[in-house]
Amino acid sequence: MLSTFHGLETARRGMMTQQNALYVTGHNIANANTPGYSRQRVNFVQTPPYPFASQNRPMIPGQMGTGVEGGTVQRVREQFLDVQYRGENMKFGYWNTRAEALKKMEEIMNEPSENGLAKTLDRFWQSLQDLAVNPSNSGARSVVRERGIAVAETFHYLSDSLTAIQNDMKNELEVTVESINSLAQQLNNLNKQIGEIEPHGYLPNDLYDERDRLLDELSQLVNIRVVPVSSGGNALKIAEGRFTIELMDKTGTQKIGTLVDATYNTVHSLEAVYLDNVKKEGPVTGFKLGTASINQLSLFSENGKLGSLIDSYGYTTDGGSTIVGLYPDMLLNLNAMAEQFAAEINRVHESGWSITEIKRGSKFGTLAGDPVNSFFTFDATKGAASTLQINQTILDSLDNIAASNAHNGLTVSGTFNGTINGLTGTYDRVQLEVEYDASSTSFRYRVMNTTVNPPVQIEPASGWRTAADAASLETQLEGLFGGPLDFKSNFSDLKFGDRWTFEFVKDQPYVGALGDGSNALALAEVKNSVMSLRGSTTTIQNFYEGVIGQMAVNAQEAERLSTNSDVLRQAVDERRMSVSSVSLDEEMTNMIKFQHAYNASARMITLVDEMLDKIINGMGVVGR
């Protein structure tokens, strides 16, 4: 039969269990604002009924309940939502970091604007067109030089600024790697503590919460997969165990390596490997994870914040010869533009004649590619965009800008004394008409009637360009064909209508002419020159427009996907919080519920006490 004190024990168990539930409720209320805290609950379990099934069991109408006990204190959490949240968190980490990198790039490029490279180039082309109209004007030449300096300085600014941001990306990458290693070490320490508690039949809920919080933080940096490992011993079935943490690709299907090994309680530290790993410079060529090497960097594509930083800073795809990434690609575009732009400008400039060369009567005696005749200079090995500058000869003298083109002509100088049309006098200006014969080896000159002191004009009858200015004619005539040609003749019998023939060497260098701006116009036309730029045949302007357009598209895409992934992440987190977070209203309801149950159990004890008092003090007193 049942013990006399059976009801007392049942009520005691009820009161103690409700008391424990009240304590857990108080713990939930206290941690209502604690980040990462999951509400906890007491799992009420009925105690075994009486009697147990046995051969000598008492003959009573049935098994009687013995009360309740708190089986476990378990946190309320949905692991599926955790996995879903971490997946969206990884995507947000990638796209948000990429959007920030592209935003910084857009701020540097500053297109379209009055201070951007496109507008600076437009001003340079316009200055060359203005110079073509008035090639001898020092003001026009000064504007060309200043506009050229502005182009070089703009390339410098863009290259230096992008390089500075790229270095910041490398520093942030290193900080991110350190954060991953720090989180891995903390997770491993939690694994050790959990592994020491679970075998004794306890659930270390607060340690679980801290571990999940660290996993959430880690998931934004890189994609991870969690593999539970049992702690052994007398661990409960609902115990979560220790976690092995594996690095995964963006799809979660290919394993990159093991970051935390719960089986052996070890951490494999992550380390970035650079092209120059001694100085920690150059693009990323791979990673070390413990003793293992990771050379397939495509596995980090779209893979958390770390993957975005790798994409932004730059990495190699084939052992070092090919560098890809947001900032390396933009720097390569700028270097290609600066190099091809400067090379084409130099090619046209070197073919023209400067005022200095025209006055000398010959080109500078330099080899092809020598910077003396160049408009720009740069060092392609260090990057054309960062080293582009105006040639020092042009900085020293505006006369070294080659605005004129090379022409076959003669420079006539001296003073002619004679009689023309019966008038006698001294003429320091003579007009000549030039005819070019079919033999391509001579010119014929004829003295024409003219007035006193007109500007000398040598006009080609066959379409050849000639000098627009010359000195006066005398008995010694000099033609500039790469060297002086002296012609001595007796002009005492010269009369109107007489003809001369001057033979010259056809293959000698041509000479430019003052007042001719055809080469300046040719320099301005470089704007429309088609050239090879990183595998595409296009103009400088079209190439740059394509680069800026692609940057804008990438930035818009990154911003859109960052917003989308953040919305999804928050939606999953809200569902997760609806399950795990503390609701003060719910906890107050539970507190009242458990309080009433506690009071009822206490009243039950009072009732049993009264019953026992009746038995002890009220029975067996008849006849006293």
- The reported pLDDT for the residue numbered 288 is 95
- The reported pLDDT for the residue numbered 49 is 84
- The reported pLDDT for the residue numbered 461 is 40
- The reported pLDDT for the residue numbered 319 is 64
Which residues does the chain have with pLDDT short of 50?
A: 366-369, 408-492, 494, 501-511
Hey, where are the domains in the chain?
Answer: 6-76+582-618, 416-511
Give the strand pairing for 499-503 and 531-533. Answer: unpaired
Phi-psi group of 429: left, alpha or beta (phi > 0 → left; psi -120 to 50 → alpha; rest → beta):
beta
190 vs 590: CA distance, rounded Å: 31
First to last CA, the chain: 30
Residues across the chain: 624
Whose structure tokens read 């105006």? 390
Please tell me the pTM assigned to this model.
0.78
Look up residue 510 and give its DSSP letter: P
- The reported pLDDT for the residue numbered 61 is 72
Contacts of 494 (CB under 8 A, 6+ apart): 418, 447
221 vs 184: CA distance, rounded Å: 12
Q: Contact 437/379 with Cβ under 8 angstroms?
A: no
338 vs 341: CA distance, rounded Å: 5
- The reported pLDDT for the residue numbered 453 is 45
391 vs 7: CA distance, rounded Å: 105
- The reported pLDDT for the residue numbered 417 is 43
The token duo for 178 is: 């350190």
Q: Contact 102/558 with Cβ under 8 angstroms?
A: yes
Q: For 4-19, how does the pLDDT look when each residue is reduced to its tens digit (9 = 90+)?
A: 788 889 999 999 999 9
- The reported pLDDT for the residue numbered 438 is 43
